[in-house]
Chain A
Amino acid sequence: MSALVELREVTKSFAGGVLGRERTVALERFSFAIDAERPGITAVVGESGSGKTTLARLLLGLVDPTDGAVLYKGHDLRQLSAAGRREFRRDVQAIFQDPYGVYNPFYRVDHVLTTPVRKFRLASSRAERRRLIEEALRAVGLRPEEILGRYPHQLSGGQRQRIMVARALLLRPRVIVADEPVSMVDASLRATILGSLRKLHEELGISILYITHDLATAYQVADTILVMYRASVVEAGDVELVVKAPQHPYTQLLIGSIPRVSTVRDWAVEERQGRVAAVSGCKFADRCPAAMPRCAAAPPPLYRPAPRRAAACFLLDDSPVLQPGDTGSVLAREERPMQASVVA
């Protein structure tokens, strides 16, 4: 597989505390790749602080890894030429979580739409620019006459977020990294926004990395899924397999916590409330209803009980271990022969 963007054994930690003496590891030896030939939709799911947003920021080149490398078409992002960087900036687009923070309050919202058109010379005339922008806005369910000429504070969060999708759409990128694009938007609009992302994928072959804490929308939108817990992948694979039969106790907790529209009140999950995080073992051990003594001793590797799924839990220790850095093959869209890197 030739990767368009790839994270190779990436660790990212942030300094914190007095004089930067405490370090917070946001992402730990994480490998991931977005295929250049076979675009797909991958969801990254996890709670706040699991490292989802750090993953997005690394992929976008907004932060540098502490260890490991982020590659664009095989080249380290930090060593890209100006032209290479420009290409990267167009190929990889972002939609962020906070539809309030991305706007400059002093500019009309038109600014975020006209800037990319101008910078990347997408239109040859003002009229064409206007047409492109109006088209993009309509594609995400907005009425251009209600949007253009307004200031950010005059629009709702849902409107602002859809403008960001329209903006990404204008550039026809190869990858869109969407970090919680609908968490601040109404349920009735979520389907529309995510549907427009899905449409971009299907019609234009754009790969989507959908980062979210909402497993239900992830299930609806994505083909493959990565579940993260405190800087590491706990479960990954085909979305049908992971959602219908989660293997990791954390994934089970996550799925059990989703309130369902049902006349059965089944919104309760077995859960322990941990206070001390295991330093050396599995990071979920303190909250895990199935924790065993060995969970506190060493972190479990990712096991691969089936070709298209993996989970980091000792409950699966009769399955082969997935080699570090091979999550890519678990997430591959089509089934491929087991690779030599998977050892029994």
Chain B
Amino acid sequence: MDASTTVLRVEKLCVAYDHPLGAVRAVDDVSFVLRPRERFGLAGESGSGKSTMALAILRMIKPPGRIEGGEVWLQDTALSGLADDAIRRLRLAGIAMVPQGSMNSLNPVVRIRDQIADALADHGSRLSRREVADRVRSLLMQVGLPPEAAGRYPHELSGGMKQRACIAIAICLRPKVIIADEPTSALDVVVQRQVMETLGRVQQQLDAAVILVGHDMGLMAQFVDRLGIMYAGRLVEVAPIRDIITAPRHPYTRMLIDSLPSLEHKGRFVGIPGLAPLLRELPPGCAFHPRCPMAEARCRLEKPAVRAFGADATAACHLA
């Protein structure tokens, strides 16, 4: 696929965490592409590797974690070839992150205005005080915050306002890709909807692509264009969101959808039986087989390869 149809390309990415009992693979041979202006979702349970993957794309994995192999391309740039200084400049300017838990990601003793100004200055914007003030005001307006928010400290803002402030910081250098890691996990539904509407609007204004990391399939259904499902470090299914909802190829995807409580039918609320496997003791064959109601003999022996289904979809399941 050439660069004109791909803004970000993740190729055979592997992340390992070193541990006294042996290294574990938190991200195992993951490949996917992100198209310009696309909204791509990454869903899975805790520990499935979705947040690790988000960090790995930005090369922000800290020891004992390390990127074991693979490549991330931002348009024509291979990120593994960049020096530390270059990758630092690329964060925020090329790929920005809206972190999980807005409450904790802002500096509590710095006003919102100065946190945005810091981000601008750190990436080499030489602006006068007045230009900074103008820039901050327009950024805040873009994310739906009143201009007064600039002079506030994080604790003076509500959770939704803090998350909007984080979005303002993320977009201040007009990145091509915004990675939002569970941006609304701590917010109320009404505020969640408003924040997601803001993120969607801002993305359109910037012509950016978005990777939304999360576990709420309802949120994915309403927001993303394509969805990737992670399980035990692997990307087990990718497909356009409509297809995933109507006809998921992987049994895990189906169970993830069914685990969402329904507002229409009482009693249709089932979890996924069993627990996500420990990465250190992955079962042989397909890592999902102990929890899979459809598992057959070969699922217990043979690890399913990722297979393509048309141009848009992949799945790693023997039965798909």
Q: Chain A: residues with CB nearer than 8 A to chain B? A: 47-49, 141, 143, 156-158, 183-184, 186-192, 194-195, 213-217, 219-220, 240, 243, 253-255, 257-263, 265-267, 269, 271
The answer to whether A259 touches B221, judged by C-beta atoms less than 8 angstroms apart, is yes
* Cβ contact of A253, chosen from B190, B267, B272, cutoff 8 A: B190
Asked whether B1 is an interface residue with its Cβ less than 8 Å from the other chain, the reply is no
The answer to whether B193 touches A216, judged by C-beta atoms less than 8 angstroms apart, is no
* A260-B218, A267-B193 given; A141·B275 CB < 8 A: yes
Asked whether B158 is an interface residue with its Cβ less than 8 Å from the other chain, the reply is yes
The answer to whether A47 touches B216, judged by C-beta atoms less than 8 angstroms apart, is no
* Cβ contact of B266, chosen from A49, A214, A240, cutoff 8 A: A240
* A188-B256, A220-B262 given; A258·B47 CB < 8 A: no
The answer to whether A261 touches B245, judged by C-beta atoms less than 8 angstroms apart, is yes
The answer to whether A259 touches B218, judged by C-beta atoms less than 8 angstroms apart, is yes
* Cβ contact of A183, chosen from B186, B221, B266, cutoff 8 A: B186
Instruction: Report Cα–Cα, A259/B257, bound state, in Å.
Output: 13
The answer to whether A191 touches B218, judged by C-beta atoms less than 8 angstroms apart, is no
Per-residue contact bits, chain B 203-219, to A (CB 8 Å; 1 contact, 0 not)? 00000000000011111
* Cβ contact of A188, chosen from B186, B222, B271, cutoff 8 A: B271
- Can you spell out 9 A-B residue pairs with CB atoms less than 8 angstroms apart? A184-B185, A186-B45, A188-B272, A189-B271, A216-B262, A220-B267, A259-B216, A262-B245, A266-B222
Instruction: Report Cα–Cα, A157/B241, bound state, in Å.
Output: 29
Q: How far is the CB of A210 from chain B (nearest CB, A)?
A: 12
Asked whether B189 is an interface residue with its Cβ less than 8 Å from the other chain, the reply is yes
Q: Report the number of A-B residue pairs with Cβ-Cβ less than 8 Å.
A: 116
Instruction: Report Cα–Cα, A149/B5, bound state, in Å.
Output: 52
Q: For window 180-229 of chain B, which residues contact chain A by CB distance below 8 Å?
A: 185-186, 188-193, 215-219, 221-223
Q: Chain B: residues with CB nearer than 8 A to chain A? A: 45-47, 158-159, 185-186, 188-193, 215-219, 221-223, 241-242, 245-246, 255-257, 259-263, 266-272, 275
Q: How far is the CB of A256 from chain B (nearest CB, A)?
A: 8
The answer to whether B263 touches A188, judged by C-beta atoms less than 8 angstroms apart, is no
The answer to whether B158 touches A190, judged by C-beta atoms less than 8 angstroms apart, is no
* Cβ contact of B270, chosen from A191, A219, A265, cutoff 8 A: A191
Q: Beyond A216-B263, A254-B190, A261-B221, list 9 extra A-B contacts (CB 8 Å).
A: A47-B190, A188-B45, A188-B256, A189-B45, A192-B271, A217-B261, A219-B266, A220-B266, A258-B263
Give the chain B neighbours of A258 by CB distance below 8 A.
Answer: 189, 218, 263
The answer to whether B222 touches A265, judged by C-beta atoms less than 8 angstroms apart, is yes
The answer to whether A47 touches B218, judged by C-beta atoms less than 8 angstroms apart, is no
Q: How far is the CB of A239 from chain B (nearest CB, A)?
A: 8
Give the chain B neighbours of A240 by CB distance below 8 A.
Answer: 266
The answer to whether B188 touches A47, judged by C-beta atoms less than 8 angstroms apart, is yes
The answer to whether B222 touches A260, judged by C-beta atoms less than 8 angstroms apart, is yes
Give the chain B neighbours of A190 by CB distance below 8 A.
Answer: 259, 261, 271
Instruction: Report Cα–Cα, A162/B222, bound state, in Å.
Output: 30
Give the chain A neighbours of B192 by CB distance below 8 A.
Answer: 257, 259
Q: Sort A-B residue pairs by CB-CB distance and give the 4 closest, nearest first.
A: A191-B271, A259-B218, A267-B222, A47-B188
Give the chain A neighbours of B263 by CB distance below 8 A.
Answer: 215-216, 219, 243, 255, 258, 260
The answer to whether B193 touches A259, judged by C-beta atoms less than 8 angstroms apart, is yes
Give the chain A neighbours of B189 by CB distance below 8 A.
Answer: 47, 213-215, 254, 257-259
Give the chain A neighbours of B260 by CB distance below 8 A.
Answer: 187, 216, 261
Instruction: Report Cα–Cα, A190/B216, bound state, in Å.
Output: 11
Instruction: Report Cα–Cα, A255/B266, bound state, in Å.
Output: 15
Instruction: Report Cα–Cα, A156/B48, bound state, in Å.
Output: 13
Residue of B nearest to A216 (CB): B261
Instruction: Report Cα–Cα, A152/B222, bound state, in Å.
Output: 35
Give the chain A neighbours of B246 by CB distance below 8 A.
Answer: 263
The answer to whether A261 touches B215, judged by C-beta atoms less than 8 angstroms apart, is no
Instruction: Report Cα–Cα, A255/B256, bound state, in Å.
Output: 22
* Cβ contact of A191, chosen from B215, B216, B242, B269, cutoff 8 A: B269
* Cβ contact of A48, chosen from B158, B217, B271, cutoff 8 A: B158
Give the chain B neighbours of A141 by CB distance below 8 A.
Answer: 275
Instruction: Report Cα–Cα, A158/B46, bound state, in Å.
Output: 9
Instruction: Report Cα–Cα, A180/B209, bound state, in Å.
Output: 33
Instruction: Report Cα–Cα, A265/B259, bound state, in Å.
Output: 20
The answer to whether B193 touches A186, judged by C-beta atoms less than 8 angstroms apart, is no
Give the chain A neighbours of B221 by CB distance below 8 A.
Answer: 259-263
The answer to whether A257 touches B262, judged by C-beta atoms less than 8 angstroms apart, is no
Instruction: Report Cα–Cα, A339/B124, bound state, in Å.
Output: 72
Q: Chain B CB within 10 Å — which of A188, A190, A261 has the most? A: A188
Residue of B nearest to A183 (CB): B186
Residue of B nearest to A47 (CB): B188
Give the chain A neighbours of B275 by CB distance below 8 A.
Answer: 141, 143
Instruction: Report Cα–Cα, A263/B267, bound state, in Å.
Output: 22
Instruction: Report Cα–Cα, A47/B184, bound state, in Å.
Output: 14
The answer to whether A186 touches B46, judged by C-beta atoms less than 8 angstroms apart, is yes
Q: How far is the CB of B184 from chain A (nearest CB, A)?
A: 10
Residue of A nearest to B158 (CB): A48
The answer to whether B191 touches A47, judged by C-beta atoms less than 8 angstroms apart, is yes
The answer to whether A261 touches B217, judged by C-beta atoms less than 8 angstroms apart, is yes
Q: How far is the CB of B250 from chain A (nearest CB, A)?
A: 14
* A158-B46, A220-B266, A259-B193 given; A187·B222 CB < 8 A: no
The answer to whether B222 touches A195, judged by C-beta atoms less than 8 angstroms apart, is no
Instruction: Report Cα–Cα, A250/B219, bound state, in Å.
Output: 21
Q: How far is the CB of B274 from chain A (nearest CB, A)?
A: 9
Instruction: Report Cα–Cα, A213/B223, bound state, in Å.
Output: 20
Give the chain A neighbours of B185 by CB distance below 8 A.
Answer: 184
* Cβ contact of B159, chosen from A48, A184, A187, A216, cutoff 8 A: A48
The answer to whether B259 touches A187, judged by C-beta atoms less than 8 angstroms apart, is yes
Residue of B nearest to A146 (CB): B278
Instruction: Report Cα–Cα, A220/B256, bound state, in Å.
Output: 17
Instruction: Report Cα–Cα, A261/B260, bound state, in Å.
Output: 8
Give the chain A neighbours of B267 by CB distance below 8 A.
Answer: 220
Give the chain B neighbours of A215 by CB distance below 8 A.
Answer: 189, 263
Residue of A nearest to B193 (CB): A257
Residue of B nearest to A217 (CB): B261
The answer to whether A261 touches B257, judged by C-beta atoms less than 8 angstroms apart, is yes
Instruction: Report Cα–Cα, A215/B190, bound state, in Å.
Output: 11
